[in-house]
Structure 1
Amino acid sequence: MTAEPIPSITLPPIKDPATEGKWLKQALHRWMDQEFIPEPINETIAQRASQIFVRQRLEGENDLGSLVIAIVTEMQAFDFRESFYSEFAIANAMSDLILDSLGIERCCGQG
């Protein structure tokens, strides 16, 4: 049995950066509040992650894997001490939210 590489996922080019950023910020904030307990820092984290995402998209990055890496890399400078989360949890949640919004199955198991 050979392991197959996970195919890359390319997002359509960004059409409305403000709407896309607002959606991601709200979805990520809602996810964080539901996953653990609502904390004031969640809004700040969601805002920062959505800013990074939109900036990367405006710079022409449409590969979801590259966007996840960009979130992880840039969020490393963020102080997560007041949060249950890390840059990895935020990047993975962002990816899952985007896949869900596109109707793409995110389970890696093949039937």
Structure 2
Amino acid sequence: MTEPIQPITLPPATEPQQEGQWLQAALHRWLDREFIPEPVNQRIAQRAAQVFVRQRMEGENDLGALVIAIVTEMQAFDFSKSFYSEFAIANAVSDLLLDSLGIDRCCGQ
């Protein structure tokens, strides 16, 4: 029988604005590298970082809950000038955060 995936909890936010700045820059770089650099990438990264910072300031530390919040709130974003969707953005944020924590995201590890 398979084991359930354990939740991933981020350390409590001591500098949520600084975390948001890092996330915005890292996500913007990722967006530009994945396909082509386009002006909308900056707005996408900025919006995702705003959602992340607000959630962290409200005390959210669970990575799964943060990803769901980003998916939910990014649904209102106009992705018509982008190759991305709210799901791609939330997954990228998750990957960036896991990488920053040194957690290997390959193969369910």
TM over 0.5: yes
Residues 14-29 of structure 1: matches in 2 within 5 Å? Answer: 14-29=13-28
Alignment coverage as a number of residue pairs: 109
Q: Give unpaired runs (5+ residues) of structure 2.
A: none
Deviation of 1:33 (Å): 0.1
1:4-37: per-residue Cα shift (whole Å, max 9, x none)?
1111000011111221010000000000000000
The alignment-based identity, stated in percent, is 76
Tell me how far apart the structure 2 counterparts of residues 9 and 109 of structure 1 sit (CA, whole Å).
12
Q: Unpaired runs of 5+ in structure 1?
A: none
RMSD: 0.9
The aligned amino acid for 2:103 is I
Separation of aligned partners in 2, 1:89 and 1:109 = 18
State the 1:109 CA deviation. Answer: 4.3
Q: Distance in 1 between matches of 2:91 and 2:19?
A: 17
Equivalent AA in structure 2 for residue 105 of structure 1? D
**Corresponding position of 2:70:** 71
Deviations 1:26-51 (A, max 9, x none): 00000000000000000000000000
Q: How does 1:23-42 map to 2 (within 5 A)?
A: 23-42=22-41
| Structure 1 segments (4+ residues) deviating >2 Å | none
Give the aligned residue type for 1:51. Q
Supply the AA of the counterpart residue of 1:55.
R
